[in-house]
Every structure is written in C-alpha cells, then in structure tokens.
Structure 1
C-alpha cells in the first residue's frame, strides 16, 4: 500500500466546532466507502459502517485496527427503514452507496425498463436512507456522493463552455434522447441527486453534495476498483471500459481526476465546515486521453504500442476545445488538494502493479 506523503500542505481550517464523535458511512465495502471509513477512524471518529454483506465489510474494514470505534450494520437501499439503526446516534451521514444494477439487455422496451427497474429503485433507495436520517434525533448533516457524470462542458448547441462549475448540469432530456455511452449511470446519478435535494428541502435537512470526478490511486478493496481500471484502459485496451473514458472526455473535454485520499478528506471537510452549502466539484485537475497515453507510454514502454496509440483517434476532439473543470467553490471554502494529476496517475499505476492487475496486459 502506498504510504501517505510527508511534508504536504495542511488542509484549510474547518469553520465549525470540533467534529461530532459518531458518523455513518453507507457503501462501506466500496472504493471510496472503505477508504473514507479508514480516514474517519484515523481522525478519531466513531464510525457506523453499512453494507449489504457484513461479512465482506468486516473482512475489509477490520484491518484498520480501530475495532473499538467501528461498528458494522447490515443495510440495503432497497429496504425501507433498513438504515434506521445505523444512523441513530450519528451527527453526520456520508451517503456513498449507489444502486448499481445497471443491466438493460433483457428489456424489449429499454426506456421503460430503465425507468422501472433502475432509476425508480435508485431514487427510492436514496430517499429510504434520507427518511432514516429524518427520523433520527441526532443527524445534523448528510454528505451525498455525487458524480462528474451529472455535469457537462457542452451547451444545448453542442458548443464547449470555457468553464464547468456546479451549475453545469447534464440535460436529462438530452441524455434520454441521445443515449450516449454510460447513459443509464448518468441518469441515475443525476436524478438521485436531484431528488435528494428536493427531499432535503422539504424536510429542512442539511444536505451537501460532493461531485466526484474519476477517483484513482491506492485502494483497500480486494479487487482493483473500476475507476482505476477505466483510467488504465488506454494502457490495457479494455474494450468495455475504454469507451467509458471516451464518453467522459466527449462530455467534459478532458478526464477530471481526484486522488482517493483527497476525495475522502473533502467529504470530511464538507461535513466539518459549517459554511458548506449545495454542490461542490472536487477535482484536482484533468488531462486528455492522449496525455494519459503519453504518460503511460513513458512509465510502461513494455506495453503494446497499438494499445497506447488507440487513444489518439478521437473523432472531432481537439485539445484546444478543453473546458476548465473548476473546483474553486471548495477551495475558496478552504480545502486544499494534496495530490496532483501526475501524483494520481503514478500511484494508480503503482497500486495496480502491486496487485498484479497489469501483468495480464503485458506483451
């Protein structure tokens, strides 16, 4: 595991009182969820971690050596009231879990299937959690993990905007009409966040959303996170994941990135900072697919050149079209990124090499 670097700049000071002692993390067995649990424990929090499979959660999270401050709860977004016990006694809740049953191949009418079998259950699951938070006598703030898939750098005419910020929403109608690669996931994240804010407003709940870009770096999960695999797809030539990377670039003009440690620290920062409101993009920087390929070719010249060169062929894309993906809202609040894009890519390569993931793709 890659160790935390020494001598980095400290985070911005939180504007609120010292953090409450107990928080809840949903989706604790995932990439962000597991690292967030570890980060919270290292900061002295008592953590209620939720997962559908408590055995798997215990296997991953028990390695952190904080068993006196970690309690694992079984909870399922599909079950009403499932989170009641887990959130009770917590001052903050991190909603990291996502409804991930995205298969659509069985449907004759794809749009009806997506609405009834994916989008409605996803929204319902998020509202189930928020109802538990609303019923709780202790929850003060919910941090909702959103996604860069909810924003775009293109306007309605298809022209590039000079800057992308929290107001740069993807058009739901346009996604339904065009169905770009990954369109179901885009709709799911866009609609669940929208409905979460509507519910929070109705109930007077303090909800803050963090818009995560592609998150990469070291990991605690048994398998390589999908986001790491997506980043490495120009190197591996993965036929399913590489088109996802192309779709992200076609929507944003580049690939926005954040280190796993930075994204988890940003979650905690937004919980602890009283002035936090609304949505926050959290990207340390971005790069294009050709830039990714060039970096990987320098680091791993043993990989096939045809795999590296595949990323150069992006119809209609030029680097001059790139929009700035702006994280100024969170940095103005006092948050500081520790890891640059180059750091993120180096640590992603290193951690995946340690897990022997890349050995399957060498020529």
Structure 2
C-alpha cells in the first residue's frame, strides 16, 4: 500500500457517496478538489466547507456533467480522480438526447482530462451493480453466479424487467455503457498508462451527511416505508439481479480509498458485502421491528439459487465491516433521525 498524502479530485462532491468520501479523504490528510454543479448552491457548498480538516485542504470547483469540459481545471495537478457524479434526471434542453449520452460524454471527457493532466495515476469510477446482472442475453433466466464477468444485456429481451417509468431503463443503460467506456481507458492505446478502476456498488445504505434520507437508503427499507416508488425500485433490483446486493456507505468509501492506496490496481471490482433475497429482508424487519407493517414477500417462481461469486476486492486485501443486518439497521436509524419513520 502507498503512503503519504495526495491531491485528489472528487466529482459530484455534494452527493450521498461523494460527500462521505470527501470527509474520509480530508480526515486522512489528502487535499481534495471537489466539483459541484453550482457554487451558488449555499446548502451544498456549506455541507462541504463545514467538514473537519476542510480549511486549506478543500478547493471547490464548478463543473457540470452536462458540460464535461468543465472538469479540466479541477483535475489539473491531481494524482487520483474519483468520478462519482452521474446524471440521474435528463436535461431535455441539453445537447444530449438522454442520460446515457450525457454520462458517456462526461466519462470520456473526464478520462481525457486525466490523460491530459499528466499527473493522474489512477481514475476510480463509481459504477452500479445494475451494470452487472447475471440475466442471460435472451432473458430466459439467470446464470448460476454473479461476478465481474457479468454485464447486463442491453436488448429488448429484458423489457419485462423494467417498470413503466423510463428512469429505470435509462439509468441501467447509462451506468452500463459508461462503465464499459471508462474501462476502455485502462489500456495504453486509449489511456496512455492511466490505471482505471470501476467499482459497481450494490444498494448503498447507512447514515448520511446530507439533510435528508438518501434515496438508496429509503429503497433499502422500502418494505417498511410508505413509499411506492422506493418499493418499485427494490422490486426492479430483484428482477434485474436475482437478489439484492447490499453495501454500507462506510464500506463503499473505504473501498474507494483502498483502490487509491493500493500500489497498483486496475479493472472491475464488484462492491457489496451481502447478497440477500427480499424474503430475508422482510423477515429481518418483521423479527426486529414488529412496530412496522412489513410487506410480505413470496418468491413468485422456483428459481435456482444465484450465488454471489465476486471475491476480487477481498482477494486484494479489502475487508468489509458491515453485514446485511448492520446496513438495514443503520438505514432505519438514519430514517428515524430524519423524521421519515
């Protein structure tokens, strides 16, 4: 593992994962170039400026994912770049026709900024497990295991997986295409020696630095929340992935930093500590939180048991600290603190 402090860039720095990552990086003594879409957004700026050790170590840059050339300035002089930002809702007035096009353009521009800077050793991309479904290409069922070799098929045979809301398909295509594109810079022909790591993260739960319960945290506890959209999202993940890969926000941030501190690392590493069924989640809530009305879950068909076969991150020496119970419990604590439960 490398030692010493570095200058790093974090895109989309006020987001759920990114803000916690910035806090940990500052605590470890690193200098952070943090990008925000709008430096006039006082709540997001004050969130970052109020972090411990931010004085003299944190520099804010205005950069919008829909104007990908904005990121050159922020990346200049950095040794590591964490590309966390992603377009969630499409801006119809932009030059791009959908979120996939916008995300691809941003990923390409940020990777090229890393190459141009001449100082960046490694680009670490926050991907999503929606890119790693083990569904077969013809949509006829799942493969035996889910690991880094799995890529979500982007074809019409999976139309039954997506809810009516176009967001789910757009997001899946956006994260899958962007991750593949980012990985292409991890070879000498495109990246000029740049090391590229992608971390397709499971459904992220835990506490937050933000002023409201994170969307992913609400999805984690959708079976006890009166939130129809969150429950649709949970069912979508189950249809797409067979079960729900869960990971704690703390483990996600530590995994990013682990990938920065490793002497040399590149490629794709799935990031989740647990892989559980909706029935197991509902049983946990029913047993430990009897005060809530828990949605009952029944497997609609006999499915073979898909295994979580990803060990690449742990094989490198990474250790997860949070299991499924701890993740779900922390989501409930967070929602209670925010007054949502």
CA distance in 2, matches of 1:211, 1:121: 19
Q: How much does 1:230 deviate?
A: 0.6
CA distance in 2, matches of 1:84, 1:37: 19
Alignment RMSD (CA, Å): 2.2
In the alignment, which residue of structure 2 is the partner of 1:130? 111
Structure with more relative contact order (C-alpha pairs < 8 Å, separation 6 or more): 1
Deviations along 1:186-223, one digit per CA (max 9) or x if unpaired, are 10100111122234531322211011000100111111
In the alignment, which residue of structure 2 is the partner of 1:38? 23
| 1:1-363 aligned within 5 A | 14=1, 17-54=2-39, 55-66=42-53, 67-102=55-90, 116-156=97-137, 158-174=140-156, 177-178=159-160, 180-181=162-163, 182-201=168-187, 202-204=190-192, 205-304=194-293, 308-309=294-295, 311-316=296-301, 318=302, 321-358=304-341
- CA 1:302 to 1:154, structure 2 compared with 1: closer, same or farther past 3 Å? same
CA distance in 1, matches of 2:300, 2:162: 15
Q: How much does 1:129 deviate?
A: 1.6
CA contact (8 A) 1:164 1:325 kept: yes
Q: How much does 1:291 deviate?
A: 1.4
CA contact (8 A) 1:175 1:187 kept: no
CA distance in 2, matches of 1:69, 1:354: 30
CA distance in 2, matches of 1:135, 1:280: 26
Q: How much does 1:274 deviate?
A: 2.7
CA distance in 2, matches of 1:156, 1:77: 31
Paired residues, number: 329
CA contact (8 A) 2:269 2:312 kept: yes
Query: Secondary structure of the residue that 2:13 maps to in structure 1?
Result: coil
Q: How much does 1:154 deviate?
A: 2.4
CA distance in 1, matches of 2:110, 2:157: 27
Query: Secondary structure of the residue that 2:50 maps to in structure 1?
Result: helix
Deviations along 1:119-138, one digit per CA (max 9) or x if unpaired, are 21221122122222122121
Q: How much does 1:281 deviate?
A: 0.5
CA distance in 2, matches of 1:52, 1:27: 7
CA distance in 1, matches of 2:197, 2:208: 25
CA contact (8 A) 2:197 2:267 kept: yes
- CA 1:146 to 1:216, structure 2 compared with 1: closer, same or farther past 3 Å? same
CA distance in 1, matches of 2:60, 2:91: 29
CA contact (8 A) 2:130 2:241 kept: no
Structure 1 unmatched ranges of 5 or more: 1-13, 105-112, 359-363
